[in-house]
Structure 1
Amino acid sequence: MAIGIIDLTDLNNIKYAGINDENMMYAASLPKIAVLLAAMDAIEKGELEDSQEIQEDMKLMISKSNNQATTRMIDRVGYAKIEEVLRSPDNQLYDEETGGGLWVGKRYGGGGDTNREPLKQLSHAATTKQVCNFYYQMITGNLVTDARSREMLEIMKNPALHHKFVNTLDKIAPKADVYRKSGSWKNYHSDSALVWGPQRHYIMVALIDDNSGETIIRNLVQPLEKAMKKARSLTKPQKI
């Protein structure tokens, strides 16, 4: 299990915590956010011509985690572009010195060449720390440009799949906006979400290697919310 959380309640005093957060794991579909970032960077730089078809594929890739749409996007931007963007000093989303991070080096659905990451030879990888970093840079407007960051947020808003984190958030925070990407393959389960709503402002990421990973992630939301609430209460000035 690896976890990362960022408490955004006080934007002047943001708090981060992680457990095994630099332990890179196979993350299934969660790293599709890296393809989204590479595509946005390519569009901004004129390397990829935007179109309605591309916009639809990006939405399908994130909201419904559609593998065919993702593979089309990977083929459009290429592995070299994805790696370049992830390693960029501006993004710093993959670095061998800090355990790796986000990586996409294989199509979703088989076939074609691969570009596996160098540390563990994973095809679709993540650390919770770097996924938190992705979300934080996105909400602060630092992924590509402020406008492209907002565009990515819109694509990630209101996910079509309602399991893991979202299953619990639907019940305890139905009025909150959720920006999210998850993944599952065999015993590997992952989820990531920016939650923004009444009394809730945080980023939460989990990577689980366990057959019961979906249930484990679903059950993490409330304990992690309690941990953030307790941490806030401990830092409040004490009355004398």
Structure 2
Amino acid sequence: MRLCLLLMTMICLSGCQSASVRTDAVCQSYTLDYDTPTDPALQAELEALDARLRERCGMTAEPTAVGVLDLKRRRLALINPDRIDYAASVAKVGILLAYFQLHPDAATHLDPVVRHELGLMAKASSNEMAAKYSRQMGLRQIQEVLNSYHFYDARRGGGLWVGRHYGVDGERIGDPLADHSHAMTVRQVLRFYLLLEQGKLVSPQASQTMREIFAAPDIPHDDIKFVKGLAGRDVRILRKWGSWKDWLHDSAVITGPGRHYILVAMTHHPNGDQYLADLAGAVDDLLARRP
């Protein structure tokens, strides 16, 4: 088993140039905070697209939260970016970050078994693996790591929160603003991926290793939400989705010819998955166009 996982790791490492974006391709000086302005043209197009898709999906009474960050042209568009809600499995990105923050040697000396298990958590969304590693580190330590990057601020709408071990009963720490066991806002998930692409989570090498884990060629994508909407396109996708009851979300870094962007969307509606699939295809069409 260990030999098999070692071979998978070697395949992943050999393909990392094609499976992830080089950090020097992202503008290192770009920051996303509460005062970062949106691009007027992209903002107008995203708002019109969101309204059209909510009408098509019968979601006109349900607010969505959406963010698009065009990394090639440094354009931002946001809808309800600081509206906190239950994150479902999207918050597992916090467990991944905390692991590398609390185990600095993992950036360059990651055990193949651990690499595979973290991939199952991040890409296949395994609750079992998420609980294994959150228990090892502790919920409070995980949240301390997230807070150190300012991924949660109760004064500004909240953000990323990991307050319960996935899939098991027991310890629960609700977020201070909304008492969610797992929480997210569009703005803070956009920031997570931006810092990841810039190589600023833990270290450049740790960020690269995390991108390889999201890419994990031995673990297939779940063909739902953004991935369904982008099927058949010449794009690479690093993503973390979340589903629980009608809380249906997706988040991704998407790269293709002429485009490199981050897309995050949150829904709370039975038709959320269809909205997310349609959104991904429409946003990709928009950003694939030459300016």
Instruction: Output the TM-score relative to the length of structure 1.
Output: 0.87
Query: Which residue of the other structure, out of 262, 268, 277, is the alignment partner of 1:209?
Result: 268
Q: Confirm or deny that 1:168 pairs with 2:229.
A: yes
Tell me how far 1:148 sits from its aligned partner. 0.4
Q: In structure 1, which of residues 97, 101, 118 is the aligned counterpart of residue 155 of structure 2? A: 97
- Paired residues of 2:229 and 2:279 also in contact (CA < 8 A): no
- Are 2:202 and 1:144 aligned? yes
The residue number in structure 1 matching 2:104 is 44
* 2:281 is the counterpart of 1:218: no
Q: Secondary structure at the match of 2:240?
A: strand
Within-5 A mapping of 1:1-240: 1-10=64-73, 14-44=74-104, 51-88=111-148, 91-157=149-215, 160-171=221-232, 173=233, 175-228=234-287, 233=291
Indicate conservation of the 8 Å contact 1:54/1:73, yes or no: no
Higher helix share: 2
Q: Report sequence identity in percent.
A: 35
Equivalent residue, structure 2, for 1:237:
none
SS across alignment from 2:134 = helix
CA distance in structure 1 between the aligned counterparts of 2:213 and 2:288, rounded to whole angstroms: 29
Gaps of 5+ in 1: 234-240
Normalized per residue, the structure richer in strand is 1
**Is 1:43–1:50's contact at 8 Å kept on the other side of the alignment?**
no
Letter in structure 1 aligned against 2:235: A
Distance 2:244 2:140 in 1: 25
- RMSD between superposed Cα atoms in Å: 1.9
**Post-superposition offset of 1:15:** 1.5
- Seen in structure 2, the aligned counterparts of structure 1 residues 226 and 160 have a Cα distance that, compared at 3 Å, is closer
**Matched-pair contact (CA < 8 Å) for 2:158–2:185:** yes
Query: Is the Cα–Cα contact under 8 Å of residues 195 and 203 in structure 1 kept in the other structure?
Result: yes
Distance in 2, Cα, partners of 1:22 & 1:85:
20
Matched length = 223
Q: Within 2, Cα distance between the matches of 1:199 and 1:126?
A: 29
For the residue of structure 2 that corresponds to 1:207, the secondary structure is strand
Tell me by how many angstroms 1:56 deviates: 2.2
Deviation at 1:57, TM superposition (A): 1.7
